Amino acid sequence: MTLLSNNKPLNKQLNKYAQWKYWVLVVTLIILFLSALPSWYGEDAALQLSSKKPTSLSSEQVYQLLNQAGIHTKRIDQQRQNTLVVLQQADQQTLAKNVLSQAFAEDVQVTLVLAPAAPNWLLNMGFAPIKLGLDLRGGVQFLLDVDLDLVFTNQALMVSDSVKQFVRQEHISAVMVRQGDGAEVNIEAAQPEARGKIRQFITQQYPLWQVVGRQDTLIVSLSESEQVKLTNLTVQQNLQIMRSRIEELGITEALVQRQGENRIRIELPGVQDPASAKNVIGATASLAFYPVLETGSVNAMVLKDEQGQPVYVARKPVLGGDHIVDARAAIGDFGMSKVNISLDTGGGKLMSDFSRDNIGKPMATAFSEYSRNEKGQAQQSTKIISVATIQSQLGSKFEITGAGTHQEAQQLALLLRAGSMTAPVTIVEERTIGPSLGAENIVNGFAALALGMAVTLLFMACWYRRLGWVANVALIANMVMLFGLLALIPGAVLTLPGIAGLVLTVGMAVDTNVLIFERIKDKLAEGRSFASAIDVGFDSAFSTIIDANFTTMITAVVLFSIGNGPIQGFALTLGLGLLTSMFTGIFASRAIINLVYGRETRRAIKV
Amino acid sequence: MNVKTINNSSQALGYLTKWRYASSLISIVFMLLSLTVIGVKGFNWGLDFTGGVVTEIQIDKRITASEIQPLINAAYQQEVSVISASEPGRWVLRYANIPDEAQRPQLHTVLAPLNSDISVLNSSIVGPQVGQELVEQGGLALLVAMLCIMGYLSFRFEWRLASGALFALVHDVVFVLAFFSLSQMEFNLTVLAAILAILGYSLNDSIIIADRVREQLVAKPQWNTTDINNLAVKSTFSRTMVTSGTTLLTVVALWVMGGAPLEGFSIAMFIGILTGTWSSISVGATLPEFLGLKAEHYLVVPLTDTP
């Protein structure tokens, strides 16, 4: 609370801003104006061609090819191994990609990109257009659910297996080992000594697991912190997998983001057909290699092969797909398709140890796919895709044959190359926004902004004649700053609700000026001179302005932290709009008023 | 605007007292009615919250809903809602999701008998758990925002003044919710965002009046609270009208030009701003008076009474 006093130091001149304040104001406005400018020019659909070899990709050749297909290019820029083809029509992007990837096949990687249409001098200064959200650009959005239950169950399986083995080795009798829910194993043992031994074994071998005794039962569970860690690792791994898979799709500006505890949000701007993206994202395959046991073995897991014949394999795989470093489809002997696999060192060691002791024995390759049933539960279906006899000691490089046609082998190789899933991932939300609808949303949004702006400017000019134009200059400066900031802030995305936030900001931004002007009116009514009324008016409105804006800021922050994509866009423009409106409403309009009316000592003035 | 003769003596403002009391009563009655409406009718939750599929298609303008409906109902084996969108030839289809991708009928094949080019403008599939989570998240957002605002208000203002602003806020939100319940317009994520924005804006007006009340209580300790309230409402009235006016104008611009996706948002904002203005000069300003706000609450220890 401020009690205003009018006995200011006499040597301080009324309504005078120091020169540096004007410099700050002008420099800020110029920088943000330049930053806002590229958005005015917009972006063109383009293709990025990166040659894998230092070749011979001539721009004339590209031009000819596209021209033949009826695709018009705006320009083709070449820089060493990278060629940027800017198209005239955005809807020809996918077509152009197909044409070029067919023509150059293996040698050139073609990716869909957007190229800013602004002049080069502007782009060279480091300014870029505002990034548009999916609802304005068109594209596909997926929300994936990473099922962690299976990860925990697998961890528990590992522990229960090793406890069983220990019990067998130590000849402890009357012990029952059962798996509980998630990461929990229940061990029932009648004898206290047996329980003691088992407890000791677990604390030694699995220090991250907690053992709680309840009567005859030991409950072994993964500690809370370890579960969180495991969750994070799994989701991180899946994020990485998704990123590399999407890279394979050739979309550079895709967004892959963790959302909440176990969700992954993927935005693919410019993608018009969700099906192809879904095939790659949605199919969550993993590969594991199992030793094949004799038919009828007791301790075996029975899996069906492609003909539906049962194959008996050991419960524990030799190694899982997470050891796979690279996988490529190739044509092997007799024209059979095959997949060449490279393993990391750890995987190579496991494979080499296993194969050394098992030469001449069969090894099965199991391919698991995850899907969701009607009840929304994750289901794992595993089938044996090949049973091959180990011919020699395998190292970190080996090959699998029998993955089907060459195309199927390629698909499998792509999935394996992108890494391997250790947790099933399912699509729980899917949104497609057609490119025409995106463009329509932009047009509508900006039409609303233009209308709202025009009406507000007109109203202010008519209502506060003498001071109205100051408010209007402040409002325009506010919009320039807001657009400049949106383009400048990394990660800021403009969405349709975001435009709604801009429109609201226009209506609310004048509030700062209105509050000040009303105070000035009051002070004039008290009989002050215009200059003095300005000085006191600005001062007394200040705390009110802060109070009023602060609460809206609270809701903007809450919305931003809790909301998702489009809503975050709204919160962003709302919050930024408050900041810029305070800057222009208080600082910029004061600077102008000081210059123009600062020395005005008349009293009976109409505002 | 003329500034010639403004008679701000307490008698001249007396007429405002009656007006404020009457309008507060109206507000409270309407609020109770609103709560009843919400309780009885509930909401028409949008896809974001319920889960399911919404697809917007564009087909030949001559085709009517009665031609589309039976084809789709048969293919999806459920009652599909077919609603006309903003333009002729545009339809919004809404139905429960068929989880198995393989069994999901393709719209193009389903509508093939209509002999029309069909383009899918947008489509959203939301799983049931996602919707459930959004309901929880939305509720949480509303709650957290309310708590933060309450915290700020009680820090900045004396509790009696703060409770007036807070009551006005609840009033506005309830009113907007009641409108959506009564009209059965779709309640989706953008409407939720609008309601949160209303939280902020509704408070704007109340706070500006409260600020003035506080200032005048300090400046005119000999006045009684009723007169101070009248004075505060009167002296901020022109500001309230101008700001609400410009904001309403821009919201109308959004309503008119923004197209279907922003319709719910603009309507919610429009109502929110109207009731926000109303409540700030009626209940918002009157409640502190009934709670016994007095000058000494600010005068005794003016600088340290904020807890």
Query: Do B295 and B243 fall into the same domain?
Result: yes
The pLDDT assigned to A604 comes to 61
Query: Do B164 and B25 fall into the same domain?
Result: yes
Please report the residues numbered 164 through 203 in chain B whose beta carbons come closer than 8 angstroms to any beta carbon of chain A.
189-190, 192-193, 196-197, 199-201, 203
Q: How near does any CA of chain B get to the CA of A100, in Å?
A: 26
Please report the residues numbered 258 through 297 in chain B whose beta carbons come closer than 8 angstroms to any beta carbon of chain A.
258-259, 261-262, 265-266, 269
Boundary-marking domain end, from B126, B146, B168: B126
Enumerate the residues of chain A whose CB falls inside 8 A of the CB of residue B257: 444, 447-448, 451
Enumerate the residues of chain B whose CB falls inside 8 A of the CB of residue A499: 258
- Domain presence at residue B255: yes
Query: Do B194 and B284 fall into the same domain?
Result: yes
Q: Say if the Cβ atoms of A544 and B119 lie within 8 Å.
A: no
Query: Do B210 and B235 fall into the same domain?
Result: yes
Q: Specify the higher pLDDT residue, A14 or A526.
A: A526
Enumerate the residues of chain A whose CB falls inside 8 A of the CB of residue B250: 452-453, 455-456, 503-504, 506-507
pLDDT over 90, % of chain A: 10
- How would residue A289 be classed by pLDDT, with cut points 50, 70 and 90? confident
Cα dihedral B265, B266, B272, B277 sign: positive
Q: Residue A238 in contact with residue A421, Cβ under 8 Å?
A: yes
Q: How near does any CA of chain A get to the CA of B141, in Å?
A: 6
Q: Residue A383 in contact with residue A307, Cβ under 8 Å?
A: no
CA–CA gap between residue A531 and residue A605 (Å, rounded):
11
The CATH number of whichever domain residue B148 belongs to comes to 1.20.1640.10
Q: How near does any CA of chain A get to the CA of B17, in Å?
A: 22
Query: Do B102 and B229 fall into the same domain?
Result: no
Q: Say if the Cβ atoms of A500 and B149 lie within 8 Å.
A: no
B61, pLDDT greater than 90: no
> Is this model's pTM higher than 0.90 or not?
no
Tens-place pLDDT, residues A120-159: 888 888 888 888 888 888 888 888 888 888 778 777 777 7
What domains sit in chain A, N to C, each tagged with a CATH number? 19-39+435-597 (1.20.1640.10), 43-117 (3.30.70.260), 149-227 (3.90.1070), 286-427 (3.30.1360.200)
Query: Do B182 and B271 fall into the same domain?
Result: yes
- Domain presence at residue B170: yes
Q: Among A433, A448, A456, whose Cβ lies nearest the Cβ of B254? A: A448
Residue A213 CB contacts under 8 Å (≥ 6 apart), including other chains: A195, A199, A219
Q: Among A372, A428, A437, whose Cβ lies nearest the Cβ of B122? A: A437
- Domain presence at residue B251: yes
The pLDDT assigned to A242 comes to 79
Query: Do B77 and B112 fall into the same domain?
Result: yes
A81, pLDDT greater than 60: yes
In this structure, of A182-196, A399-413, B78-92, B183-197, the range with the lowest mean pLDDT score is A399-413
Q: Say if the Cβ atoms of A555 and B302 lie within 8 Å.
A: no
Residue with tokens 């030991």: A218
Q: Residue A475 in contact with residue A510, Cβ under 8 Å?
A: yes
CA–CA gap between residue A366 and residue A312 (Å, rounded):
12
- How would residue A5 be classed by pLDDT, with cut points 50, 70 and 90? very low
- Domain presence at residue B2: no
Nearest CA in chain A to B246: A507
Q: Residue A163 in contact with residue A151, Cβ under 8 Å?
A: no
- Domain presence at residue B9: no
Query: Do B258 and B157 fall into the same domain?
Result: yes
Fill in the DSSP letter of residue A130.
P
Enumerate the residues of chain A whose CB falls inside 8 A of the CB of residue B209: none
What average pLDDT does the structure give for chain A? 80
CB atoms within 10 A of CB A92: 18
B305, pLDDT greater than 60: no
Q: Say if the Cβ atoms of A500 and B258 lie within 8 Å.
A: yes
- Domain presence at residue B306: no
The pLDDT assigned to B301 comes to 46
In this structure, of A119-128, A177-186, B105-114, the range with the lowest mean pLDDT score is B105-114
- Domain presence at residue B86: yes
The pLDDT assigned to B182 comes to 93
Chain A contact for B100, CB < 8 A? yes
Which of A441, A417, A439, A426 is closest to A142 using CA atoms?
A426
Instruction: Work out whether strand A263-269 and strand A139-146 pair parallel, antiparallel, or are unpaired.
Output: antiparallel
Phi, psi of A81 (to 5 degrees): -90, -5
CA–CA gap between residue B217 and residue B300 (Å, rounded):
12
Residue with tokens 């300005």: A534
CB atoms within 10 A of CB A319: 21
Query: Do B72 and B145 fall into the same domain?
Result: no
Q: Say if the Cβ atoms of B249 and A459 lie within 8 Å.
A: yes
Crossing angle of helices A224-249 and A149-169, in 10° steps, is 120
- How would residue A379 be classed by pLDDT, with cut points 50, 70 and 90? low
Per the rule left: phi > 0, alpha: psi between -120 and 50, beta: everything else, B78 is beta
Query: Do B30 and B173 fall into the same domain?
Result: yes
pLDDT over 70, % of chain A: 85
CA–CA gap between residue A32 and residue A482 (Å, rounded):
8
- For every residue of A261-292, DSSP letters joined together read TTEEEEEEET---HHHHHHHHH--EEEEEEEB
B304, pLDDT greater than 60: no
Q: Among B192, B204, B254, whose Cβ lies nearest the Cβ of A548? A: B204
Q: Residue A594 in contact with residue A17, Cβ under 8 Å?
A: yes
Residue with tokens 């990123």: A243
Nearest CA in chain B to A502: B250
Q: Among B125, B137, B239, whose Cβ lies nearest the Cβ of A562? A: B137
Query: Do B140 and B247 fall into the same domain?
Result: yes
Boundary-marking domain end, from B78, B104, B126: B126
The pLDDT assigned to A415 comes to 58
Q: What is the domain count for chain B?
A: 2
Please report the residues numbered 208 through 227 in chain A whose beta carbons come closer than 8 angstroms to any beta carbon of chain B.
none
Tens-place pLDDT, residues A593-605: 888 887 777 666 6
Q: Show the tokens assigned to B205.
A: 């007006």
Boundary-marking domain end, from B94, B110, B126: B126
A457, pLDDT greater than 90: yes
B126, pLDDT greater than 70: yes
- How would residue A4 be classed by pLDDT, with cut points 50, 70 and 90? very low
CA–CA gap between residue A193 and residue A173 (Å, rounded):
11
**Domain range holding B143?**
14-46+130-299
Chain B contact for A431, CB < 8 A? yes
Q: Which SS3 state, helix, strand or coil, does residue B300 take? A: coil
CA–CA gap between residue A162 and residue A202 (Å, rounded):
9
CA–CA gap between residue B146 and residue B138 (Å, rounded):
12
Helix (H) or strand (E) holding A175: strand A175-179
Query: Do B27 and B58 fall into the same domain?
Result: no
Which of A161, A120, A137 is closest to A38 using CA atoms?
A120
Nearest CA in chain A to B4: A525
**CA dist B205 to B198, B240, B298, Å?**
11, 7, 21
- Domain presence at residue B167: yes
Helix (H) or strand (E) holding B214: helix B189-219
Q: Say if the Cβ atoms of A431 and B199 lie within 8 Å.
A: no
Which of A207, A167, A169 is closest to A187 using CA atoms?
A167
CA–CA gap between residue A571 and residue A194 (Å, rounded):
60
The pLDDT assigned to A316 comes to 82
